[in-house]
Structure 1
C-alpha cells in the first residue's frame, strides 16, 4: 500500500464516520487546515466546512457508506480514485471520481469530485 492509498482510505474512514468527535479527528489527520473540497453538489473549506459537508451527507443518506472502487493512482502530489455510495444493502446509488492534491505534510490540500453516475443523470 502506498502513502496515497493510506491517505485515501483514511479519507473514506472520515466520510463513513458517524461519531462527530472521531470524524473530526480523522479530518484533522487527513486534511490540511486550509483544505478545500468541491463537487457539483457540495463544497467545504477547512476542517469545519468539510465536517459540516460530511454531516449533511449523513443526514441525507443515513446508514449509507462510501467505498473506494479503484486503486489510488497518482504522481508527485496529485492523485485520483473512484468511489461508490452504497445503500445499507450494499447497492451503489452514486458513483464518482475524485482528484486530489496532497500538501507537503502528506495531507489533502484540495479534492475535486465528479459524479460519474447518479439518479437522474
Structure 2
C-alpha cells in the first residue's frame, strides 16, 4: 500500500509538468505535495507550493517548446524516502534531460524533493 501511495504522489507531481493547460498545474501540485514542501533543485533551495509551481512552470516554458516529463523507472521506496528516474524531452528532437529525484513522503504527500539532473560520471 505504501508503494502505491508513493507512486501516486510522484506520478501526480510529474503530471503537473505535462498538464494540458497551466490552470491545472496548481491543483495537481496541491494533490501531490505538502504546503510546506522543500525543493532542492538546480537553482538551490526553495520552499512552499508556490516555489515548486514556479519551477514547474519554468520547465513547461522551455525555449525549445513544451516538453514531456515521464517517470523512467520503478519507484524505489526504503521507508518514507523514495527515488525514481525521470526523463524530460522537448518536441522535434530538441534537448533531452534525464535525472533522478529523491523524495520524502509524509502522510501520502511529498514534503521534500531533491532533484539530481543529468548523469553521474563513472569513477576514475
TM-score range, shorter chain: 0.7 to 0.9
1:22-41 Cα shifts (integer Å, max 9, x gaps): 11100110100000112224
List runs of 5+ in structure 2 lacking aligned partners.
120-124
How many pairs does the alignment contain?
116
Larger radius of gyration: 2
TM-score with structure 1 setting the length: 0.84
- Verify the 8 A CA contact 2:14 2:69 in the aligned structure 1: yes
Runs of 4+ in 1 over 6 A off after TM superposition: none
- Verify the 8 A CA contact 2:38 2:47 in the aligned structure 1: yes
What is the aligned-residue RMSD (CA, Å)? 2.0
- Verify the 8 A CA contact 1:44 1:53 in the aligned structure 2: no
Matched, 1:59 2:61: yes
Q: 1:65 to 1:28 in 2, by over 3 A?
A: same
TM-score with structure 2 setting the length: 0.82
1:9-57 Cα shifts (integer Å, max 9, x gaps): 1111112225232111001101000001122246542111111111111
List runs of 5+ in structure 1 lacking aligned partners.
none
How big is the shift at 1:5? Answer: 1.3
Find the counterpart in structure 1 of residue 41 from structure 2: 39
- Paired with 1:71 and 1:111, the residues of 2 have a C-alpha distance of 17
1:56-113 Cα shifts (integer Å, max 9, x gaps): 111225221111110001122100000111122477711100101001x211000101
- Paired with 1:90 and 1:100, the residues of 2 have a C-alpha distance of 29
Find the counterpart in structure 1 of residue 80 from structure 2: 77
